[in-house]
Amino acid sequence: LSPDCSFTCHYRCRALVRLDCSGPPGAGDEDDGNEQALEKDTNVDEPSEWEKAELDQAQVEQRIKEYNSQINSNLFMSLNKDGSYTGFIKVQLKLVRPVSVPATKRVPPLQTGRSGPHVQGVKRRTSFYLPKGTVKHLHILSHTRASEVIDALLRKFTVVDNPRKFALFERSEKDEQVYLRKLADEEQPLRLRLLAGPSEKVLSFVLKENETGEVNWDAFTLPELHNFLRILQREEEEHVRQLRHRYARCRQKMQEAL
């Protein structure tokens, strides 16, 4: 357990983890508690009317000027000659389950020859929990899709898990309630940022696990699928045992009554 940003990993793997962990210890704990209290009521409906609005070139240029005049940092938006625009979005990573990253274990040589020591690299994977409140800024284009943002975030943190295990959500606060909506793969986060303005309460982005009613079995590895099959088999056997026990009790009661 790191004392600086509270990420969790195996003590031998600690030197292999590379994260931009800045800020004092314990930062964000209080916000996380407030977030859980607010996030009891969520909304995953269709985009609102302002999100569906279509802007022409003049409106885009005006919106960019208004956006840049409202921010207090150098994370400006820029209009390109071809009509597209670039800018920054901030994404908060709120992952409950651990993520997998590649690790290279240095294997010491059995013996040293005349040509010097021979070092062999073995490809391995290690898993750890990302720190609470991890935030990443991304510089993207207006036509960058939500699925591409997820891919970029996973590359930034060298996460090797399947991107379909994650989803990008838009988060907004209204009337002391938090509303969440999962973005479709084709939606453009920078366009939503421009339409909403720089306020994080009006709109912010969160990366979470892709919790849907349908399971993407193709997103799991073969060992994971084999584990699922073993778990299902054990659950089935336990369910059958309980049923047989119940019917045996009923049969016994009937025989006693006879």
Q: Where are the domains of the chain?
A: 39-99+124-214, 218-257
pLDDT reading at 108 higher than 50: no
Q: Mean of the pLDDT values across residues 188-210?
A: 93
Q: What single letter denotes the amino acid at residue 145?
A: R
| Residue 79: predicted pLDDT | 93
pLDDT in tens, 173-198: 888 888 899 999 999 999 999 999 99
Q: How far is CA 214 from CA 151, 210, 219, in A?
A: 21, 10, 12
Residue 159 exposed, middle or buried by CB count within 10 Å (0-12, 13-18, 19+): buried
pLDDT at 157 over 60: yes
pLDDT at 188: 95
DSSP 116: B
Element (H, E) at 35: helix 29-38
Find all residues with CB under 8 Å of 129, minimum gap 6, and list them. Answer: 7, 8, 9, 95, 98, 99
Q: Whole-number mean pLDDT of the chain?
A: 79
Supply the pLDDT for residue 169: 94
- Categorize the per-residue pLDDT at 63 as very low, low, confident or very high, splitting at 50, 70 and 90: very high
Token pair, residue 85, equals 């625009």
- pLDDT recorded at residue 7: 61
- Contacts (Cβ under 8 Å, ≥6 apart) of 155: none
- Cα–Cα dist 243/258, whole Å: 23
Kindly state the percentage of the chain with pLDDT values over 70.
71
Mean pLDDT of 107-127: 51
Are 65 and 83 contacting, i.e. CB atoms less than 8 angstroms apart? Answer: no
46 pLDDT band, cuts 50/70/90, is low
Whole-number pLDDT of residue 42: 52
DSSP state of 51: G
CB–CB of 118/109 below 8 Å?
A: yes
Predicted structure pTM score? 0.61
Whether residue 216 is predicted with pLDDT greater than 80 in this model: the reply is: no
Q: What is the pLDDT of residue 122?
A: 46
The answer on pLDDT for 34 being more than 60 is: no
DSSP-derived secondary structure letter, 15: G
CATH of domain 39-99+124-214: 3.10.20.90
Other CB atoms within 10 A of residue 189 CB: 23
Inform me whether the pLDDT recorded for 166 exceeds 90: yes
Residue that wins the pLDDT comparison between 41 and 9: 9
